Structure 1
């Protein structure tokens, strides 16, 4: 499990252009990005930071990081669980960009609770960033962010998402509140179900590294298109 005492690592590279803030739930998921950026001498300004695990901690950490860094664009990078019913479309090891992200609750899904009307429960990442990710070959996936990791391979969710990630919704909402364009890039590390955590321990590092490489490709492509200020979410 992630260690709450692990200190976040940060890499800053300066160059004229947009200010990118790349966030993850916990620091090890950024290791590949730090490794690559350490070999580069020319890049857009990029700040990498970890913001905390789960909806609450990641919302707080993201808001603080955005207020501190004042980025033009926010990217979330992390791992995700794939719902087994989506295996005909995706597999462990794939990297996806979020098409939309929904807050999800088992109690709400079963009709035993509800989200009050003023509560935002859905968000869409910035359209131009989604389209750019698709042009780079990433699949677009519908994402849910539950309070806890699902251990049931087929929870009652309609419409059925492709993947789940605990923090994507919180980070996206923090960006939306500050009117900062946002996208989420996720490496699929496991299938949702009782063996999910065991699979995550086996594949999580590689999945996060693949997502980091996709994030860097997205940044490079956006810079080439002079996308310093893409459309707002």
Structure 2
């Protein structure tokens, strides 16, 4: 993992449980969860950066689901190089996403981990994606609910983002239940790995 300047780095997550082990160390001055979902992330990160102009880097620690066609195992840590926001309703023809070709945002990925392409829709995907529809999404490897909102704001502030996501579930009908079972142990693993490289 990269080593970060603690005084100039916002370390964030979706909720407190994803950074609670770091909080016990009392050495990260910019350590705050920014909320679940793209919208909440965008609002909270924007507000935080306006109030803390000394922040020059953002690190996100979180979880993600792996799409069934990707080979990443449970518990693997990945570092996205791109994040998109494509909606399942659009894929299945239940709605029309505008713009029809939404932009994506780049991250400063950590080459010590698999560099992946993340999809960050507004809702958790609980649908099976058949072979025909898979062709339209197979460049996505993992799914996370916060990365698009976070990176969109960071790009406006011209602040680089590095994300570390631990795989907790397979995207699909059982994904949410798998996440509930696995997130705590997976988060502990991710936080402990991060702490080991920041001392």
TM tier, smaller? 0.7 to 0.9
Contact 1:95–1:207 (CA under 8 A) maintained in structure 2: no
| 8 Å Cα contact 2:74/2:167 also seen in 1 | yes
1:18 Cα deviation from its structure 2 partner = 5.3
TM-score by length of structure 1 reads 0.72
2:13 matched to 1:48? Answer: no
Measured after TM superposition, the shift of residue 34 of structure 1 is 1.9
TM-score normalised per structure 2: 0.84
- For 2:59 and 2:120, locate their aligned partners in 1 and report how far apart those are by CA, in whole Å: 16
Counterpart of 2:171 (choices 192, 199, 202) is: 192
**CA 1:214–1:73 in 2, change beyond 3 Å: closer, same or farther?**
farther
Unaligned runs of 5+ in 2: none
Partner of residue 30, structure 1: 19
Q: SS of the residue aligned with 1:200?
A: helix
Pick from 108, 111, 136 the counterpart of residue 134 of structure 1. Answer: 111
RMSD: 2.4
Contact 1:101 1:122 in 2 (8 A): yes
Distance in 1, matches of 2:102 and 2:197, equals: 27
Aligned 8 A contact 1:21 1:69 in 2: no
Distance 2:107 2:87 in 1: 21
Q: Give the distance between the partners of 1:169 and 1:197, measured in 2 at CA.
A: 20
Q: Which residue of 2 is the match for residue 170 of structure 1?
A: 149
- Is the Cα contact below 8 Å between 1:95 and 1:214 reproduced in 2? no
Unaligned residue ranges in structure 1 (runs of 5+): 1-15, 221-233
Shift of 1:120: 5.4
